[in-house]
Structure 1
Amino acid sequence: MKFTSFKQFRVAVRNYGIKNRCVMKFRPNNSKRCKAFCKKGYPFYLWALLMAIDRNKIQIKSGCLKHECTKDHKSRNVSVQWIAHNYLEQFRADLSWKVARINQAVRSNQSVGIRRLTVWRAKAIATRLLEGDEEDQMKMLYDYRLELLRTHPGSTIMFRCIIGMFQVMYVCLSPLRDGFLGSCRCIISLDGCFLKIFYRGQLLATVGIDANDCIYPITWVMVDKENYANWKWFLELLTADLEINNSHHWAFTSNRQKVSTST
């Protein structure tokens, strides 16, 4: 058999070991050769080396596929990474897949015992693979800002950082702003909610009421915490975007207070 890399060879051997409930080890394992053998030291082994003609290919040169060892009920090859990648399509179909059901599926399919913590970590990895890594996404905030400005000319997207550390992001898209000023009542509701993400924080938002008495989003801001300074910064940008110079005909509500729309 031929492989494109030693990594692909090791993955194939580990999958073979998981299927046959044998723990595989690799030694020596370098850029020129790799030996796979059974952890219990029984006859099974495989030697894989770089091909002499095509140096980009790995080929199994010799081996013994005979097993005389007993089956293992625990396998370290059934790792969090293996579970996350092997059951990725199931996670894609149901991202709310319960940890207990995942544990049961792995035990039934692979006939090995795994810990609940292993399953929980595998689910976290699968979630990052499907939804994206939050740390990588935070690094692309400035690219996200430029893309919003390109697709929504005239928008206001601002950041506030302290000593190079991100704290606040304000977003006011021009289509939403123009639509609110052109067709909505002069009623603005303010509220906030907690963000259940890795970096925590809170989302503050302002919404209006359209002609059908439905919620109309205006602006929102992501902050590290809800306090006077963040609300002040948010509302100053909001008044500038909506050009509120005289607030005598504006109505502001907070915390989902009921508003009569008949006036």
Structure 2
Amino acid sequence: MNPEDHEPWSNVNCFHECLALRRITVNNDFVKAYSSTRDWDEDVANDRAYAGSQVEENFIIPIELMEGMCFTKKEDLQFALQGWSIVNNVEYVIVASNRKKLTVICAQSAFSDIPCLWRLHAGVSKRLGGIWKISSMKNQHTCATPILATGHSIRRHMDLKPREIIGQIKAKFNIKVSYMKAWDARRKALKTVFGSWEESYRTINLFMDAIVFSMPETIYKIQSSENHGFEKLFFSFGPSINGWSYYRPVLCLDGTFLLGKYRGTLLTAVGIDANNGLYPLAFAIVESECVDSWVWFLNQLHVLLPVVSTRPDLCIIFDRHAVRRMVVGDIELLCQKMYMAGNTDDPMVFDRCMKDMIKVKADIHQWLVERDVTSWALTYDGGFRYGVMTTNASESFNGVLKRARGLPIQALVTAIYYNVVALHLRRIEMLEGSEIETSRPFAPRG
């Protein structure tokens, strides 16, 4: 051994080392040495705690991950990883996961140009009483903002259909797999990332806490049943809340049914910017699209989002399809005339359409008049609608989430998050790529 490879010991260190040596007792009893770290870990007789193995009773998301960190259960470790990855804007891929170990690597480890070699391994420690411990973290992340630059792999692949998986496997490996194998592989992948359907609902509060931790001012509320079962979830992301006050005071409401194991309905409140662009503000996952669900959703908007409840002259547009549910003849003609009457800003055109409806069905005309013409006719709405006559904004955003409607609840929230981020990134790119005159009073169109 070369002495130059080590720092010289100080006199104080030598003194303490000598005291330690004097405490050692020596005998001739043979003690078998451990041939590997695995032997040491599996030897229950040597399960000893140490100062660094203390575990917090109440789980919190750590700002940093490091070797030696311990967690009461695997779920706490997984949520710590999720929160840490969001805060640090990095992405990881699970390469091994079972009841005893968890290994993850950087999502950019396979990049041929500049691969990131970060790696984390954790497992159940028998020496520490069966808790989960991060045993090793290799290398530092060398990737730069991978989520924003390349998109998150969960967002890109979690909504793949089995036939798309079959096509990708065939194109990449020239191997044809059956539909059931592709379906089962997709199910197992979603379970690895988000847990089972039941676990996804059971731990949704921890998942939402991770989002709040990574995005301050995000709000959410979970309503549970008497036996603590999941009933409803309302949430709105912090950046969306802060930005909505600069948009038009218009919210379009719409609901779309979910296709997962436990079904349900997704309710959305989408705003409109000055260029008629979409601005998703709030979401709710409820049992069904009924009056009680909408009342609960609107109540959360009012109570939890002061930016909405204190906004003057707020206009809420809600599509109820009431006329089509009334069984009458010439329904298409009546709908056409009603749409023309509601969508025109010319009083003469409005009056002519209303008279045409009287000729077809006087009851429908009376029903529209009783509904308060200022609430549905552009001619008499006082300008509060800003020309928005339909719920196409919320329906368009729900259409973007069509492929994610069959995912577990945590995966659905994740899909919503990344679609909102992608929407704003495209808008930023559009603004950066065009020259906008700040003195121009009107927003650009395009």
Deviations, residues 9-65 of structure 1 (Å, cap 9, x unaligned):
xxxxxxxxxxxxxxxxxxxxxxxxxxxxxxxxxxxxxxxxxxxx88x69xxxxxxxx
Cα distance between partner residues in 1 of 2:254 and 2:308:
19
- Residue 290 (structure 2) pairs with residue 165 (structure 1): no
- 1:184: how far off? 0.8
**Alignment partner of 2:218 out of 136, 155, 158:** 155
Matching residue of 2:260: 197
User: 1:261/1:165 Cα in 2 relative to 1: closer, same or farther (>3 Å)?
Assistant: same
- Residue 163 (structure 2) pairs with residue 98 (structure 1): yes
How many residues are treated as equivalent by the alignment? 175
Matching residue of 1:227: 290
Cα distance between partner residues in 2 of 1:116 and 1:150:
39
- 1:143: how far off? 1.1
Matching residue of 2:437: none
**Native 8 Å contact 1:202 1:224 kept in 2:** yes
Matching residue of 1:125: 188
**Native 8 Å contact 1:99 1:116 kept in 2:** no
- Residue 322 (structure 2) pairs with residue 254 (structure 1): no
Cα distance between partner residues in 2 of 1:109 and 1:244:
54
Matching residue of 1:73: none
In structure 1, give the amino acid aligned to 2:275: N
Matching residue of 1:75: none
Deviations, residues 73-113 of structure 1 (Å, cap 9, x unaligned):
xxxxxxxxxxxxxxxxxxx99743528957x96xx969xxx
Matching residue of 2:299: 236
In structure 2, give the amino acid aligned to 1:185: R
Cα distance between partner residues in 1 of 2:188 and 2:316:
43
TM-score by length of 1: 0.51
Matching residue of 1:144: 207
In structure 2, give the amino acid aligned to 1:217: P
- 1:211: how far off? 2.5
**Alignment partner of 1:175 out of 239, 249, 253:** 239
What SS does structure 2 have at the residue aligned with 1:206? strand
- 1:222: how far off? 0.7
Cα distance between partner residues in 2 of 1:232 and 1:197:
24
User: 1:192/1:132 Cα in 2 relative to 1: closer, same or farther (>3 Å)?
Assistant: same
**Native 8 Å contact 1:213 1:261 kept in 2:** no
- Residue 274 (structure 2) pairs with residue 214 (structure 1): no
What SS does structure 1 have at the residue aligned with 2:261? coil
User: 1:97/1:187 Cα in 2 relative to 1: closer, same or farther (>3 Å)?
Assistant: same
User: 1:157/1:248 Cα in 2 relative to 1: closer, same or farther (>3 Å)?
Assistant: closer
Which ranges of structure 1 fall in alignment gaps of 5 or more residues?
A: 1-52, 58-91
What SS does structure 1 have at the residue aligned with 2:242? helix
Deviations, residues 116-155 of structure 1 (Å, cap 9, x unaligned):
6556444533454466543333232111222233233333
User: 1:127/1:148 Cα in 2 relative to 1: closer, same or farther (>3 Å)?
Assistant: closer
User: 1:228/1:180 Cα in 2 relative to 1: closer, same or farther (>3 Å)?
Assistant: same
Cα distance between partner residues in 2 of 1:249 and 1:184:
13
Structure label with greater radius of gyration = 2
Task: Give the structure with the higher percent helix.
Answer: 2
Cα distance between partner residues in 1 of 2:288 and 2:257:
9
In structure 1, give the amino acid aligned to 2:238: S
- 1:248: how far off? 7.3
**Native 8 Å contact 1:206 1:218 kept in 2:** yes
What SS does structure 1 have at the residue aligned with 2:230? strand
Q: Identity of paired residues, percent?
A: 22
Which ranges of structure 2 fall in alignment gaps of 5 or more residues?
A: 1-34, 40-153, 321-338, 344-377, 379-384, 389-446
User: 1:166/1:200 Cα in 2 relative to 1: closer, same or farther (>3 Å)?
Assistant: same
Deviations, residues 196-250 of structure 1 (Å, cap 9, x unaligned):
2222211101011112220111111111111111111110111221365688722
Matching residue of 1:8: none
User: 1:126/1:186 Cα in 2 relative to 1: closer, same or farther (>3 Å)?
Assistant: closer
**Native 8 Å contact 2:223 2:230 kept in 1:** yes
RMSD: 4.3
Report which stretch shifted further, 158-167 or 132-141.
Answer: 132-141
Cα distance between partner residues in 2 of 1:249 and 1:222:
27
